[in-house]
Amino acid sequence: MAMNIILMGPPGAGKGTQAKKIIQEFAIPHISTGDMFREAIKKGTPLGVLAKSYIDKGDLVPDDVTIGLVKERLSQDDCQKGYLLDGFPRTLKQAEALEGLTKEIGREIALCLNIDVNKEELIRRISGRRVCKNCGAPYHIETAKPKVAGVCDICGGPLYQRADDNVEALETRLTHYEHDTKPLLDFYQKRNLLILLDGEGGSEKLFAEISRLLNEVRDD
């Protein structure tokens, strides 16, 4: 079966960290709507200007915009042998659109992995998070320091704090997760695609579990 995977979980659950490991090990494209929006913001495109007005407040970018973006990306050739969706879908409307689209193009979802972490830990992780401006690699000021302060170990790029990684925006993002995204667990459970993962036990242990699950899908 093609490795068509969704990675879900609240902000700070470790989706980005796991996504980086998954795409390296399984050689599938990483489709992160958050990264796509941040790229558009950096370039100053009309999409970027629109997205920024929502993202900085912690709000969700409207469904039609986000769905259009993913539709175009998933139809590209490099997604033929699999893809990793990170941060999409986040609403029921997006999940329904994704289901229709993936059926239409014969790239249906094989697995939905949900990483869960308690709220206090999410706040701790997000408030100390730093990200590489060049390659997006995540760090933490206490628990995942770079070798040289402020510099990415991987590409040497500068580290920065995301504009939406502040307490107010985070509260809004967590509320959106509870109201808009959590209902998707039921959506994927009903389709027998959902796997619940504990994101509190360390990233190596979590990746070992994800790796095992993905190897099962690959070997089907």
Is 218 noted as a catalytic residue in this protein? no
At 31, which helix (H) or strand (E)?
Answer: strand 30-32
Q: Distance between CA 131 and CA 161 in Å, rounded? A: 6
Binding pattern for the stretch 57-76 against ligand AMP, x by CB under 6 A and - elsewhere:
-xxxx----x----------
Site for ligand AMP, residues 93 to 112, rule: CB under 6 A: 94
Q: Is 12 in the site for ligand AMP (CB under 6 A)?
A: no
Please report whether residue 170 would count as binding ligand AMP according to CB under 6 A.
no
Active-site position among 38, 107, 129, 130: 129
Decide: residue 27, CB within 10 A, 0-12 exposed, 13-18 middle, 19+ buried. Answer: exposed
Q: Among residues 52, 90, 107, 125, which one is catalytic?
A: 90
Judged by beta carbon, residue 48 or residue 157, the one nearer ligand AMP is 48
| Residue 115 binds to ligand AMP (criterion: CB under 6 A) | no
- Pick the stretch among 86-94, 140-148, 198-206, 209-217 that binds ligand AMP (CB under 6 A): 86-94
Cis peptide before 29 (omega within 30 of 0): no
Residue 73 falls in the annotated catalytic set: no
Nearer to ligand AMP, 33 or 114 (CB): 33
Burial category of 44 from C-beta neighbours within 10 Å (exposed 0-12, middle 13-18, buried 19 and up): exposed
Contact 93, 37 (CB under 8 A): no
Are 162 and 131 in contact by the 8 Å Cβ rule? The answer is yes
170: enclosing H helix or E strand:
helix 167-176
Taking CB under 6 A as the rule, does residue 11 contact ligand AMP? yes
CB of 154 to ligand AMP, least distance (A): 18
Is the four-CA dihedral 128, 133, 138, 142 of positive or negative sign? negative
Q: Which of 71, 73, 124, 162 is catalytic?
A: 162
**Interaction residues for ligand AMP, span 137-166 (CB under 6 A):** 164
Cα 100 to Cα 71, 141, 159: the distances in Å are 10, 41, 38
Task: Give the binding site for ligand AMP (CB under 6 A).
Answer: 11, 33-34, 37, 54-55, 58-61, 66, 87-90, 94, 164, 173
Residues annotated catalytic, as ranges:
15, 90, 129, 162, 173
